[in-house]
Amino acid sequence: MRFLDLANKRYSVRNYKNTPVPQEKINRCIEAARLAPSACNSQPWKFIIVDDPERLNKLARAAFEGILKLNHFAFKAPTLVLIVSERQKAFAEIAGIIKKKNFSLMDIGIAAEHFCLQAAEDGLGTCMLGWFNETKVKKTLSIPKLKRVELIISVGFSADDNIPHKKRKNIDEILSCNKYR
């Protein structure tokens, strides 16, 4: 598959079939994320796969109840993948402080998209979720209090067969050459 075709195929899926995701597909997605570049090769991430139906239900209730029901579709996803930020290498951390940039979050974003692109290639749908109750999620999965759960990715087979048309800005709105305009 050509890369632009893959990039077009990957979209935020919010309706999943009630079909378990084969472990080998999840493993390929994790491998793609593992291969992502990171500042100073810090690899500041840990992935937690949740696919046990009972634990999945507890996690979804903890993460998405109340005002957070915006992501109610995650209850139907057969797999949720959490990305927990881990300590980055000292040089990357110091550079981030000096430059006032969070390289760790950039790295996690790259790894998450690698995961999602591999999922799309394997016929899976994904949606990256940042709106969730982190305190309850950490308690539910025994994640240490000082750790941050940066993203939850819902994963499964899309219940919709058609890839929606992407509404994107015109290239002239997002591109400048040689200077800002």
Which position has the token pair 């090769």?
41
Task: Look at the domain 3-174 and name its fold.
Answer: NADH Oxidase (3.40.109)
pLDDT for 30 equals 98
| Residue-wise pLDDT tens digits, 22-38 | 999 999 999 999 999 99
Mean pLDDT, all residues of the chain? 93
CA 12 to chain centre: 10
143 contacts: CB under 8 Å, gap ≥ 6: 48, 82, 84, 137, 149
Task: Provide the whole-model pTM.
Answer: 0.93
